């Protein structure tokens, strides 16, 4: 599985995942300031699961019904970047088969996964 990290994702998370051979493109490295809709478009075009900490993607997916390849929303505020990286890594590994075409929310102690409407 391949990923696209939104620019709001902490750089240590991206580095940690890459160090473990996850295929992660990082918006901050090539298209900083890109609107959320364009980030989602890149994710879809390249069939990458989007990793973000931006709750606006929930609105795009649920309220505005944007198509997506998969979104992973990190809700790890208040934790150290390296701690976030380990939690993210564990969740991506443990749930890799469920992330495509799903909206996933990662908290420090729980992972919630919801498939696109009609795919339950």
Q: Which residues pair with 111 in a beta bridge?
A: 106
Separation between Cα atoms, residue 60 and residue 42, nearest integer Å: 14
pLDDT (tens digit per residue) in 26-65: 999 999 999 999 999 999 999 999 999 999 999 999 999 9
**∠ Cα 14 17 44 (to 5°):** 70
Q: Which domains are seen in the chain, by residue range?
A: 2-115 (3.40.50)
> pTM for the full model?
0.94
| Residue 120: pLDDT over 60 | no
Separation between Cα atoms, residue 113 and residue 38, nearest integer Å: 23
DSSP state of 118: T
């Amino acid at each position: 599985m391949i990923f696209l990290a939104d620019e709001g994702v902490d750089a240590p998370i991206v580095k940690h995942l890459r160090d473990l051979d996850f295929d992660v493109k990082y918006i901050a490295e090539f298209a900083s300031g890109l609107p959320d809709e364009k980030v989602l478009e890149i994710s879809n075009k390249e069939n990458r699961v989007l990793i973000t900490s931006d709750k606006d993607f929930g609105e795009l997916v649920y309220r505005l019904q944007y198509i997506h390849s998969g979104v992973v929303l990190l809700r790890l505020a208040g934790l150290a970047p390296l701690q976030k990286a380990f939690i993210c890594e564990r969740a991506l590994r443990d749930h890799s088969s469920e992330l495509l075409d799903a909206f996933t929310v990662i908290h420090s102690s729980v992972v919630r996964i919801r498939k696109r409407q009609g795919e339950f």
